[in-house]
A and B are shown apart, each in its own frame.
Chain A
Amino acid sequence: MPPALRAVLGKLITTLIVLFGVSILIFCIARIIPGDPVRIALGPNASQDMVDALRAQMHLDAPLVTQYVYFLRDVLHGDFGMSLYSKRPVIADIAQFLPATLELMIVAGIIMVGVGLPMGILAARTRDRWPDHLVRVITLLGVSAPGFVWAVVLMLIFAYFVPIFPIAGRISNSFQIPQVTGFMLVDTLLAGNLAAFADAFRHIILPACALAVTGIGQSARLTRANMVETYRKPYAEMAQSYGFPAGRIARRYVFKPSLIPSLTVIGLDFASMLGGAFLVESVFAWPGLSRYGVNVILVKDLNGIVGTVLVIAATFLIMNIIVDLLVWWLNPRFRLGGRS
Chain B
Amino acid sequence: MDDLTLRIRDLNLRFKSLFSDTAVLHGISLHIRRGERVALVGESGSGKSVTARIVLGTLQELKTSRISGTVEVMGRDLKKMTEKERYALRGRDISMIFQDPTSSLNPVFRIAELFHEVLKRRDPGISAAAARARAAQMLAQVSIHEPERALDSYAFQLSGGMNQRIMIAMALANEPALLLADEPGTALDVTVQAQTLELMREMVERNATSVLFISHNLGVVREFADRVYVIYKGRIVEHGTTEALFADPRHPYTRALMAAVPRLTGGGIPDVPEVSESFFDPMITHEGLREPEPTR
CA gap between A332 and B108 in the complex, in Å: 6
B65-99, CB under 8 A of A: which get 1 and which 0?
00000000000000000000001111110011011
| A339, B157: Cβ atoms closer than 8 Å | yes
A118-162, CB under 8 A of B: which get 1 and which 0?
000000000010000000000000000000000000000000000
Closest chain A residue to B89, Cβ basis: A243
Task: Determine, out of A21-29, A196-204, A232-240, the stretch whose residues face the partner at the interface.
Answer: A232-240
The reply to whether the CB of B34 lies closer than 8 angstroms to some CB of chain A is: no
CA gap between A239 and B96 in the complex, in Å: 10
- Least distance between B182 CB and chain A CB atoms (Å): 9
The reply to whether the CB of A333 lies closer than 8 angstroms to some CB of chain B is: yes
| B108, A331: Cβ atoms closer than 8 Å | yes
| B58, A338: Cβ atoms closer than 8 Å | no
- Least distance between A190 CB and chain B CB atoms (Å): 38
Interface residues of B in 137-183 (CB under 8 A from A): 154, 156-157, 159, 170
Interface residues of B in 104-119 (CB under 8 A from A): 104-109, 117-118
The reply to whether the CB of A20 lies closer than 8 angstroms to some CB of chain B is: no
Q: Do A235 and B96 form a contact, CB below 8 Å, given A241-B56, A243-B87?
A: no
| A235, B92: Cβ atoms closer than 8 Å | no
CA gap between A339 and B87 in the complex, in Å: 35
Q: Do A239 and B106 form a contact, CB below 8 Å, given A234-B100, A333-B156?
A: yes
Instruction: Collect the chain A residues with CB atoms within 8 Å of residue B233's CB.
Output: none
The reply to whether the CB of A253 lies closer than 8 angstroms to some CB of chain B is: yes
Instruction: Collect the chain A residues with CB atoms within 8 Å of residue B96's CB.
Output: 238, 241-242
Instruction: Collect the chain A residues with CB atoms within 8 Å of residue B108's CB.
Output: 256-257, 260, 330-332
| B90, A234: Cβ atoms closer than 8 Å | no
CA gap between A330 and B107 in the complex, in Å: 11
- Least distance between B32 CB and chain A CB atoms (Å): 18
CA gap between A257 and B114 in the complex, in Å: 14
The reply to whether the CB of B103 lies closer than 8 angstroms to some CB of chain A is: yes
CA gap between A241 and B88 in the complex, in Å: 11
Closest chain A residue to B170, Cβ basis: A242
| A235, B104: Cβ atoms closer than 8 Å | yes
CA gap between A285 and B58 in the complex, in Å: 55
Instruction: Collect the chain A residues with CB atoms within 8 Å of residue B121's CB.
Output: 242-244
| B91, A244: Cβ atoms closer than 8 Å | yes
The reply to whether the CB of A194 lies closer than 8 angstroms to some CB of chain B is: no
Instruction: Collect the chain B residues with CB atoms within 8 Å of residue A235's CB.
Output: 103-107
The reply to whether the CB of A7 lies closer than 8 angstroms to some CB of chain B is: no
Instruction: Collect the chain A residues with CB atoms within 8 Å of residue B63's CB.
Output: 128
Instruction: Collect the chain A residues with CB atoms within 8 Å of residue B90's CB.
Output: 240-243
| B91, A241: Cβ atoms closer than 8 Å | yes
The number of residues on chain A lying at the interface, defined by a beta carbon within 8 Å of a beta carbon of chain B, is 26
Closest chain A residue to B160, Cβ basis: A339
CA gap between A244 and B156 in the complex, in Å: 22
Instruction: Collect the chain B residues with CB atoms within 8 Å of residue A233's CB.
Output: 103
| A234, B103: Cβ atoms closer than 8 Å | yes
| B98, A234: Cβ atoms closer than 8 Å | yes
The reply to whether the CB of A9 lies closer than 8 angstroms to some CB of chain B is: no
Interface residues of A in 238-261 (CB under 8 A from B): 238-244, 248, 252-253, 256-257, 260
The reply to whether the CB of A5 lies closer than 8 angstroms to some CB of chain B is: no
CA gap between A36 and B95 in the complex, in Å: 78
| B104, A238: Cβ atoms closer than 8 Å | yes
The reply to whether the CB of A336 lies closer than 8 angstroms to some CB of chain B is: yes
- Least distance between A20 CB and chain B CB atoms (Å): 37
Interface residues of A in 60-95 (CB under 8 A from B): none
| B118, A336: Cβ atoms closer than 8 Å | no
Q: Do A336 and B157 form a contact, CB below 8 Å, given A235-B106, A242-B121, A243-B121?
A: yes
| A238, B105: Cβ atoms closer than 8 Å | yes
Closest chain B residue to A330, Cβ basis: B108
CA gap between A243 and B87 in the complex, in Å: 6
- Least distance between B212 CB and chain A CB atoms (Å): 13
Closest chain A residue to B157, Cβ basis: A338
- Least distance between A117 CB and chain B CB atoms (Å): 16
| B118, A253: Cβ atoms closer than 8 Å | no
CA gap between A248 and B109 in the complex, in Å: 13
**B residues bordering A, Cβ < 8 Å?**
56, 58, 63, 87-92, 95-96, 98-100, 103-109, 117-118, 121, 154, 156-157, 159, 170
| 14 A-B interface contacts by CB (under 8 A) | A233-B103, A234-B98, A235-B103, A235-B107, A242-B121, A243-B87, A243-B88, A243-B121, A253-B106, A257-B107, A331-B108, A333-B154, A339-B156, A339-B159
The 10 closest A-B pairs by CB, nearest first: A243-B90, A242-B91, A243-B91, A241-B96, A338-B157, A235-B106, A234-B103, A234-B104, A238-B104, A257-B108
With A260-B108, A332-B108 known, 13 other A-B pairs at CB within 8 A are: A234-B99, A234-B104, A235-B106, A241-B90, A241-B96, A242-B96, A242-B121, A243-B91, A257-B107, A257-B108, A333-B154, A338-B157, A339-B157
